[in-house]
Amino acid sequence: MKKLIAGNWKMNGIQASLEEVARLVIGLDGGAASDRDLLICPPATLLAKMAEEFSDVIFVGGQNCHERESGAHTGDVSAEMLADAGASYVIVGHSERRADHHEVDSDVKAKAMAARRAGLTPIVCVGESEAQRGEGEALNVVGAQLSGSLPEEEGELVIAYEPVWAIGTGLTPTLGDIAEMHGFIRDRVGSGVRILYGGSVKPGNAHDILAIKDVNGALVGGASLKASDFLSIVSAG
Ligand code: PGA
């Protein structure tokens, strides 16, 4: 299965930041991207321009979408709009969306279905909190999130396992814990779905994480903002 290395820029990036993508593309030098898919999910304001300039080398994606196609939803962006701007993927249910915008599993499911309706591949994020892991509930929590967040119909799908406590903290689960969770998710979703690990993936740990069975790529936040760091991760493993 071809690995997917995805960068999540979050609320970072202005027009000048597209130079980082240009540096990344130069660094790839026609290689690296052939045996893996590269994706950057910039803020919505940069999506069309990034797709226009770089979609021959990388995929671009959204960080969220509304479940409806259009309508009176001030400030929201639909999956169809993302597709029209050149997106191929959209992240749904990121823990920051779940926390900041009170998104629950049923919202995430509706967004994932909207993504497919628009021809995008949804990247559905799941992951336990620190307390839940401490209580030995990580598998149960992720299992419940999968049950509630995934569309019932067959179709294109990527899962991102992102323990909330590992995002932006420099902490990661043990390789054994990542392997256990990815094996658990694999049993639930079958062999055709790429399962990404996310949460403090850096140049220094990417090789070991990407070598784990059932880790089919990475969702990278902070380290995706600098071309040199992202390039090391893309080239790892
Ligand atoms: P991080 O973020 O790599 O900065 O921990 C990952 C994510 O939130 O997708």
Question: DSSP string of 77-140?
Answer: -BHHHHHHHT-SEEEES-HHHHHHS---HHHHHHHHHHHHHTTPEEEEEE---HHHHHTT-HHH
The pLDDT profile of the chain, 237 residues, written as one tens digit per residue, is 999 999 999 999 999 999 999 999 999 976 655 689 999 999 999 999 999 999 999 999 999 999 999 999 999 999 999 999 999 999 999 999 999 999 999 999 999 999 999 999 999 999 999 999 999 999 999 999 999 999 999 999 999 999 999 999 999 999 999 999 999 999 999 999 999 999 999 999 999 999 999 999 999 999 999 999 999 999 996
User: For position 2, what pLDDT does the model report?
Assistant: 94
Residue 205 DSSP one-character state: T
Q: Please give the distance, rounded to the nearest whole angstrom, from the Cα atom of residue 202 to the centre of ligand 1.
A: 10
Q: What are phi and psi of 61, to 5 degrees?
A: -150, 165
- Specify whether domain 3-235 bears CATH 3.20.20.70: yes
94, 103, 128, 182: which is the annotated catalytic residue? Answer: 94
Residue appearing with tokens 């052939």: 34
Q: Exposed e or buried b for every residue in 80-99, given b needs 16+ CB within 10 A? A: bbbbebbbbbbbbbbbbbbe
User: For position 104, what pLDDT does the model report?
Assistant: 98
User: For position 32, what pLDDT does the model report?
Assistant: 54
Other beta carbons within 10 angstroms of residue 14's beta carbon come to 10
Helices (H) and strands (E) in the chain, counts: 10, 8
User: For position 54, what pLDDT does the model report?
Assistant: 97
Which residue, 156, 72, 55, is CA-closest to 115? Answer: 156
Cα distances from 211 to residues 3, 107, 207, 215, in angstroms, run 11, 33, 6, 7
Which H/E stretch holds residue 26? helix 18-28
- pTM here is 0.97
Active site residue 162: yes
In contact, 27 and 227? CB cutoff 8 Å: yes
Give the binding-site residues of ligand 1, using a 6 Å CB cut-off. Answer: 8, 162, 167-168, 198-201, 219-223
CA 159/CA 210 separation, integer angstroms: 15
CA 112/CA 10 separation, integer angstroms: 19
Active site residue 52: no
CA 139/CA 181 separation, integer angstroms: 7
User: For position 35, what pLDDT does the model report?
Assistant: 85
| Best residue among 167, 172, 209, 230 to mutate for probing ligand 1, ranked by most atoms within 8 Å of CB | 167
